Amino acid sequence: MNTIQVNNLHFSYTPGSSVLNGIDLELDQQTTAIVGQNGAGKSTFVKLLKGLLYPTKGEILFKGKNTRDYTAASLAKDIGLVFQNPNDQIFKNNVISEVMFGPLNIGQDDQEARHNAISALKKVQLDDKLDTNPYDLSLSERKMISIASILAMNTNIVIFDEPTMGQDFAGKEKLKEIIWDLRDQGKLIICILHDMDFAAEVFERTIVFNQGNVLADGPSREVFKQKNILQQAHLEQPSITQIANELGLDGNYLTDEELIQALKEKMTS
Amino acid sequence: MSIIQVEGLKYKYPDTDQLALDDISFEVKQGEFIGLIGRNTAGKSTLCFALSGLVPHFFNGGYGGKVFVNGLEVRQHEVGDIAAHVGLVFENPFSQMTASKYTVFEEIAFGLENMGVERNEMITRMDESLDLLDITSIKDKHPFDLSGGQMQRVAIASVIAMKPKILILDEPTSQLDPQGSEEVFKVVENLTKEGITIIMAEHKIDKLAEYADKVALIDHGKLIDFDTPAKVFSRDDLPDYGITAPTATRIGKALGIKDSKTDLFPVTIKAISREIGDKL
Amino acid sequence: MSTMTLYVDKKSFIHHVAPLTKLLYVMVSIAITYIIPKLEFVLFVTLTSLLILAIGKVFRKILPILALSILLIISIIIVQGFFHPENQTVLYSIGFITFYKEGLTFAALLTLRVLNMIMSFGILILTTKHDELVEDLIKKGMSPKIGYVLLSVLQLIPQMRATMGKITDAQRSRGMETEGNLLVRVKAFFPLIVPVVLNSLHNTRERAIALEVRGFNTKMKKTFLNLSKEYQYTKTIQSILWAILIVTIAWRILS
Ligand SMILES: Nc1ncnc2c1ncn2[C@@H]1O[C@H](COP(=O)(O)OP(=O)(O)OP(=O)(O)O)[C@@H](O)[C@H]1O
Ligand SMILES: Nc1ncnc2c1ncn2[C@@H]1O[C@H](COP(=O)(O)OP(=O)(O)O)[C@@H](O)[C@H]1O
Ligand SMILES: [Mg+2]
Ligand SMILES: [Mg+2]
Please report the DSSP string for C123-173 in residue order.
HHHHHS-HHHHHHHHHHTT--HHHHHHHHHHHHHHHHHHHHHHHHHHHHHT
For β-strands B33-37 and B214-219, DSSP reports them as parallel
CB neighbour list of residue B22: distance below 8 Å, 6 or more residues apart: B10, B43, B220, B221, B222
| Cα angle C57, C128, C121; round to 5 | 80
Q: Do A153 and C175 touch (CB under 8 A)?
A: yes
CB A204 within 8 A of CB A28: no
pLDDT at A153: 96
Tell me which DSSP letter residue B264 carries. Answer: B
Taking the C-alpha atoms of residue C136 and residue C140, their distance in angstroms, rounded to an integer, is 6
CB B266 within 8 A of CB B257: yes
- Strand arrangement of the beta sheet that strand B197-201 belongs to: B86-89, B166-170, B197-201, B33-37, B214-219, B222-227
CB B159 within 8 A of CB B85: no
CB B36 within 8 A of CB B48: yes
pLDDT tens for each residue of B123-151: 999 999 999 999 999 999 999 999 999 99
Of B155-169, B179-193, C192-206, give the lowest mean pLDDT range: C192-206
**Radius of gyration (C-alpha) of chain C in whole angstroms:** 22
pLDDT tens for each residue of A21-64: 999 999 988 899 999 999 999 999 999 999 999 999 999 999 88
Cα four-point dihedral sign C160, C161, C166, C169 = positive
Q: B8, B5, B57: which is closest to B221 by C-alpha? A: B8
Terminal CA-CA length for chain B: 46
CB B28 within 8 A of CB B1: no
Taking the C-alpha atoms of residue B226 and residue C195, their distance in angstroms, rounded to an integer, is 43
Of A92-106, A177-191, B3-17, C195-209, give the lowest mean pLDDT range: C195-209
Residues constituting chain A = 269
Taking the C-alpha atoms of residue B38 and residue B223, their distance in angstroms, rounded to an integer, is 10
User: Which helix (H) or strand (E) segment is C99 a member of?
Assistant: strand C97-100
Q: Do C223 and B102 touch (CB under 8 A)?
A: no
Cα four-point dihedral sign B5, B9, B14, B20 = positive
CB neighbour list of residue A73: distance below 8 Å, 6 or more residues apart: A105, C172, C173, C175, C176, C177, C178, C179
Tell me, yes or no, if B118 comes closer than 8 A to chain C by beta carbon. Answer: yes
Q: Do B273 and A247 touch (CB under 8 A)?
A: yes
Report the residue from C209, C212, C218 with minimal CB separation from B115: C218
Bond prior to B56 in cis (omega within 30° of 0):
yes
* Domains parsed from chain A with CATH numbers: 1-71+156-237 (3.40.50.300), 79-154 (no CATH)
Of B135-139, C171-175, C198-202, give the lowest mean pLDDT range: C198-202
Q: Where are the domains of chain C?
A: 14-128+230-254, 135-213
CB neighbour list of residue B28: distance below 8 Å, 6 or more residues apart: B2, B3, B4, B34, B197, B199, B214
Taking the C-alpha atoms of residue B181 and residue A8, their distance in angstroms, rounded to an integer, is 32
CB A157 within 8 A of CB A190: yes
Give the distance from CA C66 to its chain's centroid: 10
Model confidence band, residue C1 (pLDDT cutoffs 50, 70, 90): very low
CA of B192 to nearest chain A CA: how many angstroms apart?
25
Distance of CA A169 from the midpoint of ligand 4 (Å): 14
Q: Do B102 and C131 touch (CB under 8 A)?
A: yes
Taking the C-alpha atoms of residue B243 and residue B238, their distance in angstroms, rounded to an integer, is 5
Q: For a substitution probing ligand 2, which of B18, B37, B46, B92 has the most ligand atoms within 8 Å of its CB? A: B46
* Domains parsed from chain B with CATH numbers: 2-232 (3.40.50.300), 246-280 (no CATH)
Of A103-112, B128-137, C66-75, give the lowest mean pLDDT range: C66-75
Instruction: For B149, name the nearest residue in chain A, comparing CA atoms only.
Output: A38
Report the residue from B99, B111, B112 with minimal CB separation from C207: B99
CB A102 within 8 A of CB A73: no
Q: How many CB atoms lie within 10 A of CB C105?
A: 17
| Position in ligand 1 atom list of the atom nearest CA B151 | 26
Q: Which residues pair with A34 in a beta bridge?
A: A192, A207
Tell me, yes or no, if C169 comes closer than 8 A to chain A by beta carbon. Answer: yes
CA atoms within 13 A on the CB side of C160: 13
- Report every protein residue that has its C-beta within 5 angstroms of ion ligand 4: B 44-45, 91
In degrees rounded to 5, what are phi and psi of residue A4? -115, 130
Please list every protein residue whose CB sits less than 6 Å from any atom of ligand 1: A 13-14, 19, 36, 38-44, 84; B 145-150, 175
CB neighbour list of residue C167: distance below 8 Å, 6 or more residues apart: A91, C192, C195, C196, C199
User: Which helix (H) or strand (E) segment is B8 a member of?
Assistant: strand B4-12
Q: Which residues of C touch B81 (CB under 8 A)?
A: 218-219
Q: Please give the model's pTM, rounded to 2 decimal places.
A: 0.91
| Position in ligand 2 atom list of the atom nearest CA B49 | 17
Of A137-151, A187-201, B110-124, C137-151, give the lowest mean pLDDT range: C137-151
Q: A189, A197, A198: which is closest to A160 by C-alpha? A: A189
| pLDDT (average), residues A161-183 | 95
| pLDDT (average), residues A75-98 | 94
pLDDT higher than 50, residue B191? yes
Question: In Å, how far are B174, B228, C156 from C127, measured between CA atoms?
Answer: 39, 58, 17
CB C120 within 8 A of CB C30: yes
CB A33 within 8 A of CB A205: yes
Model confidence band, residue C100 (pLDDT cutoffs 50, 70, 90): confident
| pLDDT (average), residues C38-66 | 91
Taking the C-alpha atoms of residue B245 and residue B237, their distance in angstroms, rounded to an integer, is 10
pLDDT higher than 90, residue C147? no
| pLDDT (average), residues B201-218 | 96
Q: Do C223 and B159 touch (CB under 8 A)?
A: no
Q: C203, C178, C196, C198: which is closest to C188 by C-alpha? A: C178
Q: A176, A213, A180: which is closest to A195 by C-alpha? A: A176
